[in-house]
Chain A
Amino acid sequence: MAGRKAGIKRPKQRSGIGLWWVIALFVLVVVSAFALPTVILLMLGLLPAWVAFIVDRGPGKAAGKCVMSLNVAGAAPYLVNLWTAGGAGQMDNAFIILTDPSAWLVMYGSATLGWLIYFGMPYLVGAIVEMRAEGRKGQLAKLRKAIVVEWGEEIAGVLPQQKK
C-alpha cells in the first residue's frame, strides 16, 4: 500500500504556480482593458509588495503580508483620488500621481514600515518572552531555596530517600 502510494507521481507545484501566473496575467490584461490607470498605479505603487511576495519563501509569506497590507494602506488615498477623478481624466491623474515624489514617498514609505515591522517584531517578541521566562525562573529558584532552607539539602537529592 505504502509502496503504491510512494509510486504515485505528484503534479509539480511549479506548473501550478505557472498556471496561476498565466491566470493573473490574463485577468490583468482583461482588467487593463477597462481600468488601465488603476492597474498602472497598482503595478507601480505596490511594487515593494510584489517584490516582498516574490522574495519571501517562508511558509506563511509573512513578509509579503506585512509589506502588502501597509503598502496598500499607503497607496489607498491615491487610488481613491484616481477613482474620484473619473472618466478620461483618470490616466492624466495617474500620471500626476506617479510623477509626484510625495506619493512615491508615502506608498514606498508605508512599504518600508511593513518591512521594519516584519524584521523588528521577532526581536521584540523574543525579548519579551525571554524576560518573562527569566523572571519565572528566578521565582522558582527562590521557592526552591526556601524549601531547602525549611527541609534541608536532602530534598534537593535526585532520588530523595524515604526516611524511616
Chain B
Amino acid sequence: MTAVEKPTATEPGAEKAPAAPLPGGEILLKGRYRLLREAPLPAYDSPTAKAYAVKDNLHPERPLFAHVCDSGLPLRWPFLEQQRQQNMRGVLQLVEEEAIEWPSEQGMCPVFIYMQPGDPLCSFPAGPMTVKAIEATVIAPAIEALRQLEALDLTHRGIRPDNLFMAENKEGAGVLLGDCVSAPSAYNQPVLFEPIESALADPSGRGRGKIADDVYALGVTVLALLLGDLPAKDVDKEAILKRKILKGSYNFLMGKRPPTLPLRMMEFLKGTLHDDSQKRWGLDQIEDWLDERRTHELPGVPNIAPHVFTFRKEQHITGRSLACAFLQHPQEGAKAIRESRFESWAARSIASPDHARAVAEEILKDRAALASAERLVARIAILLDPEAPIRYKDFSAPIDGFGSLLASRFSDDSARRNFSEIIRYQLPQLWLSAQEPGMAKNRKILQRLHRLQHFLNRRGLGFGIERCLYELTPGLRCQSSLVLPRYCANISELLPALEAAAGELEKLVEPIDSHIAAFVASRFPGKVDSFLVSLASSAGSAERALGVLGMLASLQDRHGPARLARLAGWVWKLLPPVIGSYHNQALRRRLEEEGEKTAGQGSLVAIYNLVGNPSQRRADQRAYAIARSQFTRSLAETAKLDRKLKGLPLTSLVLGQMFAVRLSILIALVAVSLMISQYI
C-alpha cells in the first residue's frame, strides 16, 4: 500500500491474494496488477532489477512498470519503508509491491510496481546538453528531490545519467531519480560517480552515506551531460580511483580538457566534486548557485604530506595513497610499518597530532605483542585515512555498510570470518575514535558494536554471526533453508512460510534453525530471550523443544495466523521429550490426549499453554520431589524394619526376658497382696 494507490479500489481480500500465474506468461499481483513477462521494458532496467510492463485491471490507462529484483541482494529497507508511508516527489512513485515466484536462484523475489517516469534522460554517447537545460531540468529538480530526502534523513545514492528519467508535470519537464532500492546503497554506482571514500568500499557495503555523496554523484552526472559522454570512460575503475586519490576528483575528471566549459559550470563542478565532504557544496549552496548568487570555489586537492614515504619503490605523498598501498600488500606493509623510518615519517607528516600519536601507540602495542600483518595494516590504515571505510583483508565498508556487505557475501566463509575479526579486533571502535570528536551518534554506534560483540561471543541458536546479519540489515529476507525459496522479509511472513514448508520437509528437523532464530530475535518486538536460552540446550532435549514451541507460539500470538495445522503437527512431533519431562503419569496421558487434539486445531499458542505452562511444570516438579522423598523415606523405613527382623531372635530374647521379669514380679505382688488382704 502506498500513497499513490490506496487499497480501497481493490476488492475485499484482494490484497492478501498471492501472486498467481496467468496464461500467457502474466503474473497477477495483489489480485489486480498483471505483470507482463513477455513485455520487458529495458529502458527502465536497473543493473539489479529487470523492468516489465504492468497492466492495472482497474485503471488500464495507468502507465506502470515493475522492477523484478531477482539479484538476491538486500534491499534498501529504510528508503522503502519511507516510500511505503508516502511517496516522495522527484523519485520513482511506488504503487505496489509483492513477492512473486520467479525463475531465479533466489526462488521468490520482490517486485516493485512503479508509475512509468517518462523517457530515460540520455544514453551515451549523446550530444552535450546545454547549461540552461541542465540547470532547469536536471540540477533544480534533483536538488528538490534531495532536499526532500534530506528532510526524511535519507539519501538516494543512485544518481547517474542512466538512472535519471525525464518527467513532465504541471511545472514543466524535470528529471526524476530512478531506482535506488533494488540493491544496497550505491551498489549500482560506478566508481566514477562515487566520492573517494565511498569508492574505496566494496560496492555492496558502501553504506547509507550522506547527501554530500549524492551531490558528488550529481556533479559527475552534470559533467557527463555537459560533455555528452562519460568522462574517463576508457579508464578502468582501479585507475580511476587511484587518479582521484592522487590528483583530486575535480582535477582528474576535468583532466587536460581545454576550458570550454562555462565558468559558472566550472564553479558548480569545483563545489560539488570537492573531495572533502565538509567543504563540498551542500544543497543550500547549490540553491544559491542556481539563484545566481555566485561563490568562488577552489578545487579540492589531496592533503599532501610534507615528506615522502617510499613503499615498494613508489613514493607516497598522501596518507590515503600510502594506506591503500599498505592494504594491497599487507605483509610488506606491516614490515614497513615496523621500520623506524615509518614512525618518524608518521610523526612529521600526519597532519592531526592525535592521529600521529595514535599511530605511535599502535606501533608500540605491536612491539609489545606482535599482531598479524593484516590487523596491523588495517589499524594503521584507519589512522592514516580516517575518512576511508574500515578495510580488513577483502572486507571494506564503513560501519553503516557492514550489514549490506555481510548480507551480500554471507555465503562466503572468508567474508564472515573477516567480519567477525573486524568486530573482535575492535576496528570500528578505532575508526570511531579517529573521527571528529563530539559526534553524538557515536555513543549509539558504540553500544551497537558492543551488542554485536556480545552476539558473536555467544553460541547457540539466535546468536552468532547470523544474529549480527539480521541486526545490521533491516528488511533482509530470512535466509533459512527451511523457508527459502519463500520470501520472508517481515516477521509476520515467517509462520505462513514455515506452514507451507511443513508439508514438504522431512519432519525430522526442527522448524527453527540458526537463521530463523536470529531473524526472530532481531525482528520480533516482544521478548524472546528466555526462549533463546532454551534453544541453547542440546538438540532433542525437552528444554529445546519448549524453546522452539515457545518462540513459534509467541509469533503466532502476535502476528497470527490463527490456524497452522501442518506446522502445529510438525512441532507436536518434537514434543515427546517435553511430555516425558512431566513426572505425573496421569498428567502425561492427559497432555498426550489433549495435545493431539490441539495440534489438529493448528494453534501453537494452545499447545504451549497446554504443555509449556510454567506454573503447571513447577507444580509437577514440586509434587514429584515430595513423592520422591516419600518413596525414599519408605524404602529407608522398610530397610530398617528388615534389619530389625533380622535381629529379632536377640531382640525378642532381651525384651522377652525383661517382660518376663516384670510379669513375674507383677504376678507375685498381686498374689502376695491377695494373701495379705485375707489376713487383714
Known contacts A121-B657, A151-B585; is-contact A140 B638 (Cβ 8 Å): yes
Chain B residue contacts of A156, Cβ below 8 A: 631
Question: A14 interface residue, CB < 8 Å from B?
Answer: no
Contact of B239 with A by CB under 8 A: no
Minimum C-beta distance from B661 to chain A (A): 5
Partner of B655 from the list A63, A117, A122 (CB cut-off 8 Å) is: A122
Docked CA distance A113–B635 (Å): 43
Q: Is the CB of B671 within 8 A of A121?
A: no
Q: Is A143 an interface residue (CB 8 A)?
A: yes
Nearest CB on A from B544, distance (A): 9
Q: Knowing A151-B627, A163-B581 touch, does A124 contact B668 (C-beta < 8 A)?
A: no
Q: Contact: A65 with B665, CB < 8 Å? A: yes
User: Are B665 and A140 in touch, CB under 8 angstroms?
Assistant: no
Contact of B583 among A67, A69, A114, A151 (CB under 8 A): A151
**Consensus secondary structure, chain B interface:** helix
CB distance from B46 to the nearest CB of A (A): 53
Interface residues on B, range: 35 or more
- B 652-669 contacts with A by CB, 8 A: 652-653, 655-661, 663-665, 667-669
Residue-by-residue, is A59-80 near B (CB-CB < 8 Å gives 1, otherwise 0)? 0101101110110111011001
Interface residues of B in 633-654 (CB under 8 A from A): 634-635, 637-638, 641-642, 644-645, 648-649, 651-653
Min C-beta distance of B42 to chain A, whole Å: 60
CA distance A127 to B585 in the complex (A): 40
Q: Does B116 contact A (CB under 8 A)?
A: no
Residues of A near B537 (CB, < 8 A) are 164
Q: Closest CB of chain A to B73's CB: distance in Å?
A: 43
Are the CB atoms of B672 and A73 closer together than 8 Å?
A: yes
Residues of chain B contacted by A65 (CB below 8 angstroms): 661, 664-665
**A120 CA to B655 CA, complexed, in Å:** 12
A164 and B648: CB pair below 8 A?
Answer: no
Known: A130-B645, A133-B644, A144-B634. A125 touches B659 (CB 8 A): yes
- How far is it, in angstroms, between the C-alpha of A148 and the C-alpha of B638 when the chains are bound? 16
Q: State whether the Cβ of B586 lies closer than 8 Å to any Cβ in chain A.
A: yes
| Contact among A76, A147, A160 with B630 in the assembled complex (CB-CB below 8 Å) | A147
Q: Is the CB of A72 within 8 A of B668?
A: yes
- Which residue of the partner chain, among B585, B630, B669, B672, contacts A152 with CB atoms under 8 Å? B585
Instruction: Decide yes or no: A164 and B660 within 8 Å by CB, A129-B651, A137-B638 being known contacts.
Output: no
Q: Which of A82-122 contact B (CB under 8 A)?
A: 110, 113-114, 117-118, 120-122
Residues of B within 8 A of A160 (CB): 628
Q: With A117-B660, A151-B585 in contact, do A77 and B675 touch (Cβ < 8 Å)?
A: yes
- Residue A155 CB within 8 A of the other chain: yes
CB distance from B628 to the nearest CB of A (A): 6
Q: How far apart are B541's CB and chain A's nearest CB, in angstroms?
A: 6
Residues on the A chain within 8 Å of B659, using CB:
121, 125
Contacts of A72 in B (CB 8 A): 668, 672
> A121 and B660 in contact (CB under 8 A), knowing A77-B675, A150-B586, A164-B543?
yes
Knowing A73-B671, A125-B655, A136-B637 touch, does A147 contact B627 (C-beta < 8 A)? yes
The residue in B543, B667, B679 that gathers the most chain A C-beta atoms within 10 A of its C-beta is: B667
Check: A18 CB closer than 8 A to any chain B CB: no
Enumerate chain A residues within 8 angstroms of B637, measured Cβ to Cβ.
136, 140
Counting CB contacts under 8 A, is A141 at the interface?
Answer: yes
Complex Cα gap A125–B648 (Å): 10
- A126 near B664 with CB under 8 A, answer no
User: Known: A150-B584, A163-B542. Is A66-B664 also a contact (CB below 8 A)?
Assistant: yes
Chain B positions within 8 Å of A69 at CB level: 661, 664-665, 667-668
The answer for the CA separation of A80 and B671 in the assembled complex, in Å, is 13
Contact of A150 among B580, B585, B638 (CB under 8 A): B585
A126 CA to B660 CA, complexed, in Å: 13
Distance in Å from the Cβ of A127 to the closest Cβ of chain B? 8
Interface residue from B583, B585, B652, B679 paired with A149 (Cβ < 8 Å)? B585
Is there an interface contact between B628 and A62, defined as CB atoms closer than 8 Å? no
At the interface, yes or no: B624 with Cβ under 8 Å from chain A? yes
Contacts A66-B660, A72-B668, A80-B679; is A151 near B584 (CB within 8 Å)? yes
**List of A residues within 8 angstroms of B627 by Cβ:** 147, 150-151, 155
Q: For residue B529, give the distance in angstroms from its CB to the closest CB of chain A.
A: 19
Task: List the B residue with the shortest CB-CB distance to A58.
Answer: B657
Given A73-B672, A121-B663, A164-B537, A144 and B631 contact (CB-CB distance below 8 Å): yes
User: In the complex, which residues of chain B have a beta carbon less than 8 angstroms from the beta carbon of A125?
Assistant: 652, 655-656, 659
**Are A117 and B664 touching (Cβ within 8 A)?**
yes
Task: A125 to B657: give the CA distance in the assembly, Å.
Answer: 9
Within the complex, what minimum Cβ distance (angstroms) separates B644 from chain A? 6
Within the complex, the shortest CB–CB distance from A102 to chain B, in Å, comes to: 15
What residues of chain B lie closer than 8 Å to A148, measured between beta carbons? 631
Q: Is A34 an interface residue (CB 8 A)?
A: no
Bound Cα distance from A4 to B429, whole angstroms:
83
Whether A114 pairs with B584 at a CB distance below 8 angstroms is no
Chain B residues near A140 (CB-CB < 8 A): 634, 637-638, 641
Distance, CA A122 to CA B659, complexed state (A):
8
CA distance A67 to B663 in the complex (A): 11
| Whole-angstrom distance between the Cβ of B626 and the nearest chain A Cβ | 10
Closest-by-CB residue of A relative to B542 is A164
Q: Which residues of A contact B657 (CB under 8 A)?
A: 58, 60, 62-63, 118, 121-122
Q: Which of B652, B669, B671 contacts A129 (CB 8 A)?
A: B652
Taking the closest CB of chain A, its distance from the CB of B299, in whole angstroms, is: 70
Question: Which residue of the partner chain, among B586, B644, B664, contacts A114 with CB atoms under 8 Å?
Answer: B664
- Complex: how many Å from CA A118 to CA B658? 9
A129 to B671, CA, bound (A): 29
CB pair A147 B631 closer than 8 Å: yes
Q: How far is the CA of A152 from the CA of B630 in the complex (A)?
A: 14
A80 to B675, CA, bound (A): 9
Is there an interface contact between B648 and A143, defined as CB atoms closer than 8 Å?
A: no
Separation of A65 and B657 alpha carbons in the complex (Å): 10
Q: Which residues of A contact B624 (CB under 8 A)?
A: 151, 155
**What is the CB-to-nearest-CB distance from A125 to chain B, in angstroms, rounded to a whole number?**
4
Residues of chain A contacted by B652 (CB below 8 angstroms): 122-123, 125-126, 129
The answer to whether B634 touches A126 (Cβ under 8 A) is: no
B188, chain A: closest CB distance, angstroms: 52
| Smallest CB separation, A159 vs chain B (Å) | 11
By beta carbon, the residue of chain B nearest A135 is: B641
- B675 — which chain A residues lie within 8 A by C-beta? 76-77, 80
Residues in B402-428 with C-beta less than 8 Å from chain A: none
Assembly CA distance A117 to B663 (angstroms): 8
Alpha-carbon separation in the docked complex, A36 to B318 (Å): 143
From residue 604 to 643 of chain B, which have CB atoms closer than 8 A to chain A? Answer: 624, 627-628, 630-631, 634-635, 637-638, 641-642
Shortest Cβ distance from B644 into A: residue: A133
Q: Which of A22-80 contact B (CB under 8 A)?
A: 58, 60, 62-63, 65-67, 69-70, 72-74, 76-77, 80
B577 CB to closest chain A CB (Å) equals 8
Residue of B nearest to A63 (CB): B657
Shortest beta-carbon contacts, A-B, top 9: A122-B656, A126-B652, A73-B668, A121-B660, A62-B657, A66-B664, A69-B668, A121-B656, A125-B656
- Having A66-B660, A126-B649, A155-B627, one finds 12 other A-B pairs with CB under 8 Å, namely A65-B665, A67-B664, A73-B668, A73-B669, A122-B653, A129-B644, A133-B648, A149-B585, A150-B586, A154-B583, A155-B628, A163-B580
Please name 13 pairs of A and B residues whose Cβ atoms are closer than 8 Å in the assembled complex, sorted by A.
A58-B657, A60-B657, A72-B668, A114-B664, A122-B655, A125-B656, A126-B651, A129-B651, A133-B648, A137-B638, A144-B634, A144-B635, A150-B586
